Amino acid sequence: MRDAIVSIKKAKAPKKDFITTQVAWGFRKPMNLEKLALLAQRVSGVGLLVYLFFHIFVTGSITSGEQAWEGLMGMLFNPLAHIGELLVVVGATFHGINGIRVMLLELTSLVGHPIRPDYPYKTQMLGKGQQSILYTAMIMAGLSTIAGIFFLFMGAGA
C-alpha cells in the first residue's frame, strides 16, 4: 500500500530575472524594429536616470568650494569617464528622438493602418512616417557620437 503512494512535487518553472526576460523578449522571434526600439528606449532611459542621479551629487560639490570642485573634475577628466559621457550623449539623443516618435504614435495618426491577420501571419510593422523618425533617431545618435568624440576626445575649441 505504501508503495502506491506517489509524491507529487510542484513543477518548478525556471526563474528568470527581470533583465533577462526583457532582453529575451526583445530578441524573440518574430523580431521587429519597434521591439528593439522599445528595448533601446528603456535601456537608454534607465541608464540616463542612473547618470542623472550621480550627476546631481557630483555637481553639488560646487558648494564645497573651488578645491573640491577642481579635485572632482580632475578625477573625472579622463578617457574612461569621457566614454561614459559619450554614451550619455548618444543615449540622450536616441532616447529623445525615439521618444518624439513614441509621442507622435500616441497622439497622432502616424501609427499606420492595421493589416488583416491572415495566415501566414505577417508582423505588423511601423507606418512609413514612424519608420522614418526611427531611422532619423538612429542617424542622429550616430552623428552625436561623432560630435561627442570631436568635443570630448579631440578637445574641439579648447
Partner 1 sequence: MRESTLQLINYIMILALLVTLALHLAMQAFLGVTGYAQALSYDTALARYREPLSVSLLTILLIAATYHGLFGLRNILLEFRTGPRWDTFVTSATLGLAVVMLGWGLWTIVAAFGGF
Nearer to partner 1, 73 or 125 (CB): 73
**Residue of 23, 25, 42, 139 interacting with partner 1 (CB under 8 A):** 42
Say if residues 33 and 123 touch (Cβ distance below 8 Å): no
Q: Which of residues 48-67 bind partner 1 (CB under 8 A)?
A: 48-49, 52-53, 56-57, 59-60, 62-63, 66
Least distance in angstroms from the C-beta of 127 to partner 1: 21
Torsion of CA 132, 134, 139, 142, to 10 degrees: 180
In angstroms, the CA 111 to CA 109 distance is 5
Binding characters for partner 1, 84-123, by CB under 8 A (x = yes): -----x--x---x--xx--x--------------------
Cell 507529487 sits on residue = 8
Least distance in angstroms from the C-beta of 16 to partner 1: 12
Cell 577642481 sits on residue = 70
Residue 92's alpha-carbon distances to 53, 67, 132, 137, 138, in angstroms, are: 15, 30, 19, 10, 12
Nearer to partner 1, 90 or 134 (CB): 90
In angstroms, the CA 158 to CA 151 distance is 9
Crossing angle (nearest 10°) for helices 79-107 and 33-59: 130
36 is a contact residue toward partner 1 (CB under 8 A): no
Nearer to partner 1, 69 or 83 (CB): 69
Query: By the criterion CB under 8 A, which residues form the site for partner 1?
Result: 18, 42, 45-46, 48-49, 52-53, 56-57, 59-60, 62-63, 66, 69-70, 73, 77, 89, 92, 96, 99-100, 103, 147, 151-152, 155-158
